[in-house]
Structure 1
Amino acid sequence: MLEKSMYDSWVSHISLFIKGNKNCRMMLDSIDEGPLVYPMVVGEDGQTRPNKYSELTETQQLQDDCDIQVKNIILHGLPLDMYALVNHQEAGEDIWDRVKLLMKGTELSYQERECRLYNLFDKFASVQGETLYEYYWRFSQLINDMHTIGMTIQQVQVNTKFLNALPPTWSKFDTDVKLAKSLYTTNYDQLYAYLSQHE
């Protein structure tokens, strides 16, 4: 279910759910390119009209079914207040775009979120009394939020921040880790595992 601060995670979950379906490529195409446009035919009365579902080719029928299925998947992942704002849309593509606009706003609001996350990263520090696991968990959430919106940061920066923000009681082990591990090739999960042996 979509939550206000978790749009990017929601997109990832919905995309993975769609990819788990038999006709995932057609469903993803429906989001990216819009629904099937029914071909036009000339009826018996000489008037041009869209084909009926029964007159579509097997592939077109499958695409139409996928269009409906992807719309339902997206709508089922929305809370009631958001559902009420987008359920009138006919196509999965339109619902997807509307939800994105409502959740992420404009490019300016994305930049604001990116700046906020960089600021949180810069100011990240241990909290008095927290365990090493709690520290690691908070740091992991921050890095995950940064990755989720596509922010990139060098591995050595992440590792250095993880070690430098540890409480002073860990300074001896902090130095040992920096000497024993390459901060360019190791990740902070491995650093945590190494440190947790000494907790």
Structure 2
Amino acid sequence: MHNNIMAAGSRDRPPMLATGRYAQWRSRFLRYIDTRPNGDALRKCILKGPYTPTIVTTLAVPATENSPAVLEQTKVETVMNMTPENRAHFESEKKEIHLILTGIGDEIYSTVDACQTAQEMWEAIKRLQQGESLNIQDVKTNLFWEFGQFTSHDGETIESYYTRFYKMMNEMIRNNLTVATMQVNVHNSSTTSNQKVKKVNELRAERIAKNADPLALVATAQPYQVPY
């Protein structure tokens, strides 16, 4: 069924992502948006991110015999004074988000929907689909690594911090990572990175020494199973 949808007429809707067919879906999705109005702007949204309005500076104009002087002014760029190219990029963000969400299934929808921009969604889908080819123990180790390293970024807002956290929690739930599985000795996992294993063990030792169990938060969130 998925394969039939992927091959269906792209004039009506974007191709659907089928399991194990990420490379084909990516190629077809890019070709699909190229056929849409403002296709270049849609492509920019997923490859470069949304257009951010800049500060527009109006230079000062000296007085003349017929007109008074005009002082230099600065103001935030708006849709009204954007160039046509920048306006198309700016206005295509919501459309691109809609197209991406239309082209994915429920199994990854909750994780991708937590992203703030089309570019973040595009990268999240790529990361999730590449993860499908990993050994399950590698997935668990990578998620535990991400959990142990999780911290705020310089200048990051509270909203952004918790958005990233819930995205990580959704991935744990999606991979059936309960408190019990998170506590499995990382030495028994078939990881491909010895450096990661060593760092994970160090992080666990530090947290135990501080009597601060980070898995308590996972245990609290686990019964609800509510995606962000």
Q: Classify the TM-score, shorter chain.
A: 0.3 to 0.5
Over alpha carbons, which structure has the higher Rg? 1
Normalized per residue, which structure has more helix? 1
* Alignment TM-score, normalising by the size of structure 2: 0.40
* Alignment TM-score, normalising by the size of structure 1: 0.45
